[in-house]
Structure 1
Amino acid sequence: MLKIGHVLLLEDVNQKEGDTYKCKVVDLDADTIWIDLPKNMITERTKLLKTSTKLTAQVIIEENNLYLFHTEVLGKANKEIPMLCLHNPGKEEMKKIQRRQFVRIETAIDLSLSFPQSQLRFASISKNFSAGGCAVLLPDGILLKEKEVGEGIFVLPMQDGSFHYLQLPFVVKRIWKKDNLTFASVQFSDVEEYDERHITRFCFERQLAYKKKGLLKK
């Protein structure tokens, strides 16, 4: 399940406002995970975590599914590179994060929405985005109703420079205003597994990038 080369995001469970660290799996066996020295997501400085430090780890494996597991630092070693040794809890202790549990990211992506019943169609941007839905900025003159159903095309810009175009059905859950702007919260419905994997990857990449810039608070 976990493989050499996978990227881990680590957080100290005993620090409520602790930093997030990025590292890579360089070796592993049934009981241990060897990682390169973790880098602070904000400062990019390496961190030699102390032995017995308890951590939570996030990793994307198995076709872009996000998993979380608990581990702790067992020790350190200098082989080809300086490394830390973590406890390997095994596949049974890795919890798959369901898409509706995943973080909602404040981000503006291009989208186009259509509503068969009211025959409305318009292009706009999102205020935020998650695997469960998003908030959409409504252009002037666009009037929607709660519980109205529609379909949208959502453009996800990925970290590698590619774009994924998702065609997703949704239902309008709430209409609200902020700073003289009108937004609609929409909830995705009947999302295919293929699309769900791309959404998870997109949110994970944005979360990682925001933490690196110090823009994402816990």
Structure 2
Amino acid sequence: MYPKINEILFIQIASADEKEAIKEYKSRIADVEDDSFLIEVPMQQGSSRLKRLFFGEELSIYYITEDGVRHYFNTYVTGFEEDIVRLVRIRKPLPDEISKIQRRSFLRVHANLELAIQIEDLTRAVALTEDIGGGGLSIYGEPNFSLVEGQKLNCWLLVPYRNSAIEHVAFEAEVVRIKELETGRQLCMLKFVQITDSERQKIIKFCFERQLDYRTK
């Protein structure tokens, strides 16, 4: 059962920042299209703070039907529309993608991709990603190249596709969390802070291809 126009959606946003990931926002469906919902800009629960969303950002959503049952689905931002108020276009899930069980599996996929990094002092290094999604990625720290939380990085990611094409994706990222692994290595979680829509779309395309590979194995 799809949510209807004027129905309230409760939203969480995929983020490597755990504090941000647990925040809940509320929005309303303004219009329904064949493959999209148009929703109002979300507002944080318990406050009047609006949440700016970005193209490709991944969302976990639930809505409550008249019988009091929560229905969950995962989606992502596909665009924006300027009406009387600004509206956010999100992908409309397929019927079998709506569940009564919460599933926080966003379009974040495991992938070991090469990432070139440059920090403020122009020091450069190459790291390997552990996972990647439309909102950020995680990389393994290198012994000779230490990162700290809050640090801004200029990055260039090498993205291979199934047709053997290779894209270079440029963006600015922020280190939001560093986790010490049992192996002694560090896992550094980054979020995109400056990335163009076209560059983000290249990453989302890669994630869809990787998920399709998982499903066909």
Which secondary structure does the structure 2 equivalent of 1:169 belong to?
strand
Alignment length (residue pairs) = 128
Q: How does 1:23-102 map to 2 (within 5 A)?
A: 67-71=91-95, 102=106
> Is contact 2:170-2:195 (8 Å) kept?
no
RMSD, matched Cα: 3.1
In 2 relative to 1, CA 71–146 (structure 1 residues): closer, same or farther, beyond 3 Å?
A: closer
Amino acid at match of 2:125: F
1:200 aligns to what SS in structure 2?
Answer: helix
The one-letter code sitting in structure 1 at the alignment partner of 2:175 is V
- Which one of 113, 136, 141 corresponds to residue 138 of structure 1? 141
Larger of the two Rg values belongs to structure: 1
SS in 2 for 1:208: helix
Q: CA deviation at 1:210?
A: 1.3
Other-structure match for 1:207? 211
Matched, 1:106 2:130: no
For the pair 1:196 / 2:200, whether they are aligned, the reply is yes
Q: 2:153 corresponds to which residue?
A: 150
Q: Aligned to 1:141, what secondary structure does the other structure show?
A: coil
Query: % of aligned pairs identical?
Result: 19
Question: Where does residue 27 of structure 1 map in the other structure?
Answer: none
TM-score (ref. length: structure 2): 0.52
Gaps of 5+ in 1: 1-30, 32-55, 73-100, 214-218
Q: What SS does structure 2 have at the residue aligned with 1:108?
A: coil
CA contact (8 A) 1:175 1:184 kept: yes
Q: Deviation digits for residues 136-174 of structure 1, max 9, x if unmatched?
A: 111113221110111100011011110110111011111
Asked if 1:121 corresponds to 2:145, the answer is no
Q: 1:184 to 1:69 in 2, by over 3 A?
A: closer
Residue pairs, 1:13-28, within 5 angstroms: none
- Structure 2 residues not aligned, in runs of 5+: 1-33, 35-72, 80-88, 97-104
1:187 corresponds to which residue? 191
Distance in 2 between the 1:192 and 1:102 partners?
A: 20
* SS across alignment from 1:69: coil
